[in-house]
C-alpha cells in the first residue's frame, strides 16, 4: 500500500517498540541535537497519528489551529505557572480576563466565573465535589473537614446521570469516596440522550429514602453527540435542592450556533459546566474549563498557604480555584485562536462538520444495507452495517470485523462502540477537514469490507 495514504505507520506494538527503544536508552553522555532530531523524525513521527487528515474520523483529536499554535508557542517558551500573581502577573491576569470573556461568550450570568482545568475528567470531579460540599453546608457541616461521614445517611447520597454519561463521572464518584452505587442511571431515548420521562420511575425504584445532591446533563454524549435536556433537569434540581452540572466537554461549544441554541434551553440555570476548548476550538491538549454560575462557589476549593496563595494577597490567585498548584498558561492559545479566527469563522468551523454528518445521515437513511442508529444532533454518527448475506446473530461480529480491518489498514480511523447492547460503528467529524465526501469514502470502504465478511472465519 502507498505509505503516503496511511494516517500512521500501521506498525505492530513490537515494531514500534523496536523503533523507539533508542530514544529511551539513557546514557551518561548526551546526544547532539541533529542526531536527536533525526531519531525523533525517523523513529517516532511515523508512528504518530495524522489528525489533520480528512480520513481521521474516530476520536476528538486534531492538529492545533494556526492562531492557537501562536499562543501555545509563546506559552511553551515562557513556561509560565499561572497560580498566583508572583509567579506570572501577565499569565494570571490573562486567565482572569479570558475566563470572564468566556462566561460572556456562553451567555452565563454576570456573577459567574470559571477556572482552567487540565481535562474534562478533573472538571467533572470538581463539579461533583462542589455539589457535595454545598449539600454538606445545607446540612450544617464542613465537608472539607469532616468528609462524607458528616452526612447523617451517607448511604442515601445520590447522583443522577444518564446511561450515556461519560465514564469520567464514574471516576468522579469513585475518587470522591462515594462509590458507583451512588449513581442513578436514567435510561436513554431513541437518540441516546437521557429520557427525562423515565426519571420519576427510576427515582421510585428501590423504595428507600434517597438524597439526590447532584444531577448531570451531558451536553454532547460521547457515543452519539446527543445534547441531553437541561431545562427539565433544572426543574428536578429545584425540587430536590440538588446541584445541576452540565457536562458539555464536547457539546457546549455548539451552544454558540444560533440554530442549535434551543437545545441548550436552561443552560443559564446550571450550577456548573464543563467545557473542553481542546475539542473543537483548535487549542492543544490539555485545556478544559469549569464554569460556575456563582463565582463564590469556587471559594470552596481554596486552601491558603504560607509560601504562596496567602489569604491576604491583594492580587488574583487562580490557583485557589482548583487543587493543582502547577497550572500552565492555557488561556493564551484559547485567546489567540479566538482572536485570530474571529467568532464568525469559529462558528463556521463549528458548523461545517455538523452539516457533513447530517447530510451523510440523511443519505444513509435510504440505503438498505445500513442502519442509521440515531438522528445526529452534532458531529457524530453511529451506524450498523446489515448486508443481506449476514444473519442477524452475526451482525456484532461484522462491525468488529470492519473496525479491526480499518485499524490494521491504517488508511483511515473510525471508532466502534455499543448502543443498546449492540456493536455499532461510529464516525466523528470534529474538524472542518472531515467533509461529506471524506465520510462517503469511509462508507464505501466499510461497505466493501462488509462484502468480504463471511460468518465463518476464513
Contact set for its own copies, span 112-171 (CB under 8 A) = 118-122, 125-126, 129, 132, 142-150, 154-155, 166-168, 170-171
Distance CA 236, CA 74 (A): 45
Binding pattern to its own copies, positions 19-58, x when CB under 8 A? -xx-xx-xxxxxx-x--xx-xx---xxxxxx-x------x
Query: Using CB under 8 A, which of 54, 71, 220, 248 touches its own copies?
Result: 71
Shortest Cβ 27–its own copies spacing (Å): 6
Shortest Cβ 248–its own copies spacing (Å): 15
DSSP 124-156: HHHHHHHHHHHHHHHTTS-HHHH-GGGSS-GGG
Q: Is the Cβ of residue 325 or residue 363 nearer to its own copies in the bound state?
A: 325
Q: Does 208 bind its own copies (CB under 8 A)?
A: no
Query: Residue 215 has which C-alpha cell?
Result: 444531577
Q: Does 173 bind its own copies (CB under 8 A)?
A: yes
Cα dist. 350→13, 99, 428, 429 in Å?
35, 20, 13, 10
**Closest C-alpha among 12, 1, 11, 2 to residue 46:** 11
Shortest Cβ 30–its own copies spacing (Å): 3
What is the three-class DSSP state of 329? coil
What are phi and psi for residue 404, nearest 5 degrees? -60, -40
The interface region with its own copies, picked from 226-234, 291-299, 337-345, 354-362 by CB under 8 A, is: 337-345
Q: How far is CA 136 from the centre of its chain?
A: 29
Q: Is the Cβ of residue 323 or residue 451 nearer to its own copies in the bound state?
A: 323
Q: Does 107 bind its own copies (CB under 8 A)?
A: no
Shortest Cβ 200–its own copies spacing (Å): 26
Q: Does 81 bind its own copies (CB under 8 A)?
A: yes
CA atoms within 13 A on the CB side of 107: 15
Query: Using CB under 8 A, which of 100, 294, 386, 447 touches its own copies?
Result: 100
Q: Which of residues 212-231 bind its own copies (CB under 8 A)?
A: 222-223
Q: Is the Cβ of residue 293 or residue 327 nearer to its own copies in the bound state?
A: 327
The interface region with its own copies, picked from 106-114, 264-272, 310-318, 361-369 by CB under 8 A, is: 310-318
User: Edge-to-edge, what's the strand order for the sheet holding 370-372?
Assistant: 370-372, 380-385, 422-428, 415-419
Burial letters 260-270, b for 16+ CB under 10 A, else e: beebbebbebb
Shortest Cβ 74–its own copies spacing (Å): 6
Shortest Cβ 158–its own copies spacing (Å): 12
Q: Does 94 bind its own copies (CB under 8 A)?
A: yes
Q: Does 80 bind its own copies (CB under 8 A)?
A: yes
What is the three-class DSSP state of 158? strand
Shortest Cβ 324–its own copies spacing (Å): 5
CA atoms within 13 A on the CB side of 399: 24
Distance CA 202, CA 26 (A): 57
**Closest C-alpha among 266, 267, 320, 270 to residue 294:** 270
Q: Is the Cβ of residue 241 or residue 315 nearer to its own copies in the bound state?
A: 315
Residue located via cell numbers 437518540: 191
Query: Residue 414 has which C-alpha cell?
Result: 473510525
Q: Which of residues 251-270 bind its own copies (CB under 8 A)?
A: none
Query: Residue 425 has which C-alpha cell?
Result: 460503528
Q: Which of residues 289-308 bind its own copies (CB under 8 A)?
A: 303, 305-308
Distance CA 357, CA 330 (A): 30
Shortest Cβ 404–its own copies spacing (Å): 10
Q: Does 433 bind its own copies (CB under 8 A)?
A: no
Q: Does 69 bind its own copies (CB under 8 A)?
A: yes
Distance CA 330, CA 310 (A): 23
Q: Is the Cβ of residue 87 or residue 232 nearer to its own copies in the bound state?
A: 87
Q: Does 332 bind its own copies (CB under 8 A)?
A: yes
Q: Does 436 bind its own copies (CB under 8 A)?
A: no
Q: Which of residues 365-404 bind its own copies (CB under 8 A)?
A: none
Shortest Cβ 212–its own copies spacing (Å): 16
Pairing state between β 113-117 and 272-275: unpaired
Distance CA 155, CA 210 (A): 8
What residues does 371 pair with on adjacent strands? 384
Q: Is the Cβ of residue 16 or residue 295 nearer to its own copies in the bound state?
A: 16
Shortest Cβ 264–its own copies spacing (Å): 19
Amino acid at each position: 500500500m502507498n505509505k503516503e495514504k496511511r494516517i500512521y505507520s500501521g506498525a505492530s506494538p513490537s515494531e514500534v517498540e523496536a523503533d523507539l527503544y533508542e530514544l529511551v536508552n539513557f546514557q551518561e553522555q548526551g546526544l547532539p541535537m541533529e542526531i536527536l532530531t533525526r531519531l525523533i523524525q525517523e523513529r517516532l513521527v511515523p508512528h504518530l497519528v495524522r489528525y489533520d487528515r480528512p480520513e481521521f474520523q474516530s476520536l476528538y483529536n486534531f492538529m492545533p489551529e494556526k492562531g492557537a499554535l501562536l499562543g501555545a508557542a509563546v506559552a511553551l517558551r515562557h513556561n509560565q505557572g499561572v497560580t498566583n500573581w508572583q509567579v506570572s502577573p501577565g499569565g494570571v491576569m490573562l486567565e482572569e480576563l479570558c475566563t470572564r470573556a468566556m462566561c460572556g461568550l456562553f451567555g452565563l450570568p454576570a456573577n459567574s466565573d470559571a477556572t482552567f482545568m487540565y481535562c474534562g475528567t478533573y472538571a467533572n470531579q470538581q463539579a461533583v465535589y462542589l455539589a457535595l460540599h454545598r449539600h454538606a453546608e445545607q446540612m450544617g457541616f464542613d465537608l472539607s473537614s469532616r468528609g462524607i461521614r458528616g452526612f447523617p445517611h451517607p448511604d442515601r447520597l445520590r447522583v443522577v446521570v444518564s446511561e450515556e454519561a461519560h465514564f469520567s463521572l464514574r471516576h468522579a464518584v469513585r475518587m470522591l469516596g462515594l462509590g458507583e452505587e451512588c449513581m442513578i442511571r436514567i435510561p436513554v431515548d431513541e437518540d441516546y440522550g437521557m429520557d427525562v420521562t423515565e426519571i420519576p420511575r427510576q427515582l421510585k425504584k428501590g423504595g428507600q429514602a434517597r438524597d439526590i445532591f447532584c444531577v448531570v446533563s451531558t451536553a454532547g454524549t460521547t457515543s452519539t453527540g446527543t445534547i441531553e435536556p437541561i431545562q427539565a433537569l433544572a426543574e428536578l434540581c429545584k425540587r430536590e435542592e440538588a446541584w445541576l452540572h452540565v457536562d458539555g466537554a464536547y457539546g457546549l461549544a455548539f451552544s454558540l450556533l444560533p440554530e442549535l441554541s434551543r437545545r441548550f434551553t436552561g443552560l443559564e440555570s446550571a450550577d456548573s459546566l464543563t467545557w473542553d476548548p481542546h475539542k473543537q476550538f483548535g487549542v492543544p491538549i490539555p485545556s478544559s474549563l469549569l464554569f460556575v454560575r456563582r463565582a463564590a462557589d469556587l471559594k470552596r476549593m481554596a486552601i491558603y498557604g504560607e509560601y504562596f496563595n496567602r489569604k491576604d494577597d491583594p492580587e488574583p490567585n487562580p490557583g485557589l480555584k482548583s487543587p493543582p498548584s502547577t497550572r500552565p498558561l492555557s488561556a493564551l492559545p484559547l485567546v489567540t485562536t479566538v482572536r485570530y479566527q474571529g467568532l464568525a469563522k469559529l462558528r463556521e468551523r463549528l458548523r461545517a462538520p455538523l452539516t457533513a454528518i447530517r447530510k451523510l445521515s440523511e443519505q444513509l437513511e435510504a440505503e438498505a444495507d445500513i442502519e442509521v442508529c440515531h438522528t445526529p444532533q452534532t458531529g457524530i454518527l453511529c451506524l450498523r452495517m446489515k448486508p443481506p448475506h449476514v444473519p442477524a446473530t452475526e451482525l456484532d461480529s461484522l462491525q468488529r470485523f470492519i473496525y479491526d480491518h480499518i485499524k490494521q489498514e491504517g488508511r483511515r480511523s473510525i471508532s466502534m462502540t455499543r448502543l443498546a447492547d449492540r456493536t455499532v460503528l461510529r464516525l466523528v467529524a470534529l474538524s472542518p477537514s472531515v467533509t461529506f465526501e471524506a465520510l462517503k469514502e469511509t462508507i464505501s470502504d466499510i461497505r466493501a469490507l462488509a462484502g468480504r465478511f463471511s460468518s465463518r472465519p476464513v
